[in-house]
């Protein structure tokens, strides 16, 4: 499988959200990456269900929803109803991770787990067989436009190895500080899905930039 590109809506122009969603529809992007922040798990608040539903109405590609919230198990059904296709929770936010993953799957969504930069990949050993996706955070979550933490490349390799050893079907996604300058290294290190916010939306022609990302690797 060649790599997938998931532009992050967090960097879109919220006053022109419909226009930016249509741009992604029209582009070579594969998924919409949708960041949900609660101001508790991370020091920022993004947006909630009405915005996710509004994106879903226009989106012609899957919604990859990244929950940076405490107790995500309380909202699994709501995110299904709002239109999530893939639902990713944080390892650090789940006391009963196995149960939460089962609940996501029971709702008919793909299930992902994300790791903060300080969380070792080996902690996924007993949950990896149940996952569709592992999201490696390459910045401390909460804000777009931060600098890529280089150690994340090592974690991508460790994740790919863990997946291979366990026979899991999970794919590896990277999120934070992804740019055209590090995309080749990221793909080489084992990432299959590249989330990119600032590096796409800060350019004069985001659609052309998405194509450049798609042509990497």
What is the contact surface with Zn ion in residues (CB under 5 A)? 35, 66, 175
Using left for φ > 0, alpha for ψ between -120 and 50, and beta otherwise, residue 167 falls in left
User: Is 126 noted as a catalytic residue in this protein?
Assistant: no
Enter the tokens of residue 213. 């990302």
The upper half-sphere exposure of residue 193, i.e. CA atoms within 13 Å in the direction of its Cβ, equals: 23
In terms of CB distance, is 112 or 144 closer to ligand DX5? 144
The correct pick among 3, 4, 5, 10 for binding ligand DX5 (CB under 6 A) is: 10
Closest CA to 77 of 103, 112, 51: 103
> Interface with ligand DX5 includes 145 (CB under 6 A)?
yes
CB of 198 to ligand DX5, least distance (A): 3
33/80 with CB nearer Zn ion: 33
In angstroms, rounded to a whole number, what is the distance separating the alpha carbons of residues 38 and 135? Answer: 18
Residue 35 interacts with ligand DX5 (CB under 6 A): yes or no: yes
Residue 26 in tokens = 């029209």
Separation CA 58–CA 41 (nearest Å): 29
Given the residues 35, 38, 64, 132, the one annotated as active site: 35
Tell me the closest approach of the beta carbon of residue 164 to ligand DX5, in angstroms: 26
CA atoms within 13 A on the CB side of 128: 22
Q: Confirm or reject binding of residue 199 to ligand DX5 (CB under 6 A).
A: yes
Residue numbers 59-118 binding ligand DX5 by CB under 6 A: 66
Burial letters 12-38, b for 16+ CB under 10 A, else e: beeeebeebbebbeebebbbbbbbbbb
Minimum Å gap between C-beta 88 and Zn ion is: 8
List 4, 11, 52, 83, residue binding ligand DX5 (CB under 6 A) = 11
Closest CA to 33 of 191, 203, 176, 209: 176
Closest CA to 110 of 169, 29, 182, 23: 169
- The CB-nearest residue to Zn ion is 66
49 interacts with, out of ligand DX5, Zn ion, none, CB within 5 to 8 A per kind? none
- One residue of 142, 174, 187, 214 binding ligand DX5 per CB under 6 A: 142
35 is catalytic: yes
Return the active site residues. Answer: 35, 175
Using CB under 6 A as the criterion, which residues of the chain lie in contact with ligand DX5 when the complex forms?
Answer: 8, 10-11, 33, 35, 66, 139, 141-146, 175-178, 195-199
């Amino acid at each position: 499988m060649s790599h997938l590109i998931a532009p992050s809506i967090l960097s879109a122009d919220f006053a022109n959200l419909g226009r930016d969603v249509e741009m992604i529809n029209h582009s070579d992007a594969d998924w919409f990456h949708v960041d949900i922040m609660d101001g508790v798990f991370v020091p920022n608040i993004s947006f909630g269900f009405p915005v996710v539903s509004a994106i879903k109405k226009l989106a012609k590609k899957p919604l990859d929803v990244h929950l940076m919230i405490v107790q995500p198990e309380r909202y699994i059904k709501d995110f299904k109803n709002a239109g999530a296709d893939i639902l990713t929770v944080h390892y650090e936010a789940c006391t009963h991770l196995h149960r939460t993953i089962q609940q996501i799957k029971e709702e008919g969504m793909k299930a992902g787990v994300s790791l903060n930069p300080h969380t070792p990949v080996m902690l996924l050993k007993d949950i990896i067989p149940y996952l569709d996706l592992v999201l490696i955070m390459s910045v401390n979550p909460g804000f777009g436009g931060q600098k890529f933490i280089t150690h994340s490349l090592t974690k991508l390799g460790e994740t790919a190895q863990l997946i291979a050893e366990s026979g899991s079907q999970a794919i590896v996604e990277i999120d934070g500080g992804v740019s055209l300058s590090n995309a080749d290294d990221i793909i080489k290190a084992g990432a299959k899905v590249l989330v990119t916010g600032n590096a796409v939306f800060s350019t004069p022609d985001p659609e052309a930039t998405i194509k450049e990302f798609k042509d990497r690797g």
